[in-house]
Amino acid sequence: MTQPIAPEFIGKPQAEAVGAAPAAAAMPTPARIFQTFNAYQQTAAMQAAIELDVFTAIGDRQTTTEQIAERAGAAERGIRILCDYLTVMGFLTKNESHYGLAPDAAMFLDRRSPAYMGSAAHFLDAPEMLKAFDGLTAAVRKGGTVMGDEGTVGIENPIWVEFARSMAPMMMMPAEAISRMVEAGKGGKCRVLDIAAGHGLFGINIARHNPQAEIVALDWASVLEVAQENARKSGVESRYSTIAGSAFEVEFGAGYDLVLLTNFLHHFDPPTNEGLLRKVHAALAPGGRAVTLEFVPNDDRVTPPEAATFSMIMLGSTPHGDAYTFAELERMFSHAGFARSEHFRQPPLPESVIISYR
């Protein structure tokens, strides 16, 4: 008595029904709307599972509700409902009373994996961010964030220290991709300015591949502490120096071979970016390049999904930020004096790399 029946069979017990009418599936249904009304619970469930380290417990062969609950110090009822929910979402598997990790969860959510990125929830789901979206209707009306102090781009916003501490794992793959693209492994003299360095991973990765590379990291002083800590851990601290302050105010110096602009331009409007890019252009040595990591939607602005939906995060959390198309980015670089820009998508990663030549 557990198979679906078609509407025309309503009034007969389920056992008598012989399969659902395919037409039923094509009718408009409220299912996806209902799912969207409840989508916030997906975020809450993921946060709870990360906080209780459920994925690590399962990876460590604690696979029953009882075992996971004991490891997590949680109630069995709570764990059963949470793990069933994560199974429906595809992050866990379930076989009788045993849960297992789906491939994405095993790679990125088991704390014992080198690619663990559960900490990213601390930044992406920070209380300030969730709060910004409580006021989304007002943000749509206004056309920008209703968070005070310019949203996340306000001066010395402490969220960037959280960013630097928690987002590094999510940036390992793009950092490695950028090092390959600029052929850091070939070595040779290379002065790198890493703007809004955050965790510092992008510059540090180049320094690890190229023993002659010298990195100058720019960010708020509080954030640079995290970058310097990471530079020490990677053994590149002797080639790592810093400039503390706002990228819009401090002097960059000159003669850089590479300037890194990773996840930075999306916070600001085009004229602000063009002003910054003129400074970047002036700081580059002949033959130098700006390397930009960005969420880049296609010209239709609704594909690919990860890049297209990124605009929503900028609407909720910044006054004027956006996910820019390549044409828009190319225009900003061109207005700032760059000769040409090239666009590289990097599937399966959601972000693109833009290389702009002085």
> How far from each other are the two terminal CA atoms of the chain, in whole angstroms?
70
Residue 177's CB: how many other CB atoms inside 10 A? 17
Selected from 20, 71, 228, 245, the binder of a copy of itself by CB under 8 A is 20
Judging by DSSP bridges, how do beta strands 190-195 and 98-101 pair with one another?
unpaired
Residue 1 in contact with a copy of itself, rule: CB under 8 A: yes
Distance CA 161, CA 316 (A): 20
Residue 244 in contact with a copy of itself, rule: CB under 8 A: no
Cβ-based nearer residue to a copy of itself, 6 or 244? 6
Residue 144 in contact with a copy of itself, rule: CB under 8 A: yes
Closest approach of Cβ 260 to a copy of itself, in Å?
16
Spell out, one character per residue from 45 to 64, where the chain touches a copy of itself: x when CB under 8 A holds, - when not. Answer: xxxx--xx------------
Residue 10 in contact with a copy of itself, rule: CB under 8 A: yes
Residue 149 in contact with a copy of itself, rule: CB under 8 A: no
Interface segment toward a copy of itself; rule CB under 8 A; list 71-79, 199-207, 221-229, 331-339: 71-79
Residue 66 in contact with a copy of itself, rule: CB under 8 A: no
Cβ-based nearer residue to a copy of itself, 198 or 217? 198
Interface segment toward a copy of itself; rule CB under 8 A; list 28-36, 196-204, 240-248, 259-267: 28-36
Residue 25's CB: how many other CB atoms inside 10 A? 8
Which residue's structure tokens are 């557990």?
A: 2
Residue 98 in contact with a copy of itself, rule: CB under 8 A: no
CA–CA distances in Å: residue 172 to residues 115, 177, 264: 8, 9, 17
Selected from 66, 103, 112, 238, the binder of a copy of itself by CB under 8 A is 103
Residue 147 in contact with a copy of itself, rule: CB under 8 A: no
Closest approach of Cβ 228 to a copy of itself, in Å?
26
Closest approach of Cβ 345 to a copy of itself, in Å?
5
Residues 320-349 close enough to bind a copy of itself by CB under 8 A: 322, 326, 342-349
* Cα torsion angle, 179, 247, 228, 257, sign: positive
Give the residue ranges of DSSP H helices in 154-289. Answer: 159-166, 168-181, 201-209, 221-233, 270-283
Closest approach of Cβ 221 to a copy of itself, in Å?
28
Assess whether the previous peptide bond of 304 is cis (omega < 30° from 0). yes
Residues 78-97 close enough to bind a copy of itself by CB under 8 A: 78-82, 84-85, 87-91, 94
Query: Smallest Cα–Cα separation from 79: which of 104, 54, 108?
Result: 54
101, 58 contact by CB (below 8 A)? yes
* Cα torsion angle, 343, 263, 149, 128, sign: positive
346, 353 contact by CB (below 8 A)? yes
Q: Which residues contact 114 (CB under 8 A, 6 or more apart)?
A: none
Closest approach of Cβ 98 to a copy of itself, in Å?
12
Distance CA 224, CA 227 (A): 5
Selected from 250, 282, 312, 339, the binder of a copy of itself by CB under 8 A is 312
Selected from 70, 100, 107, 335, the binder of a copy of itself by CB under 8 A is 107
Closest approach of Cβ 29 to a copy of itself, in Å?
4
Selected from 60, 100, 181, 222, the binder of a copy of itself by CB under 8 A is 181
Selected from 39, 61, 249, 251, the binder of a copy of itself by CB under 8 A is 39
Query: Smallest Cα–Cα separation from 173: which of 319, 326, 346, 13?
Result: 346
User: Which amino acid appears at position 223 of this protein?
Assistant: V
Selected from 77, 98, 189, 233, the binder of a copy of itself by CB under 8 A is 77
To 10 degrees, what angle do helices 127-134 and 305-317 make? 80
Residues 182-201 close enough to bind a copy of itself by CB under 8 A: 183
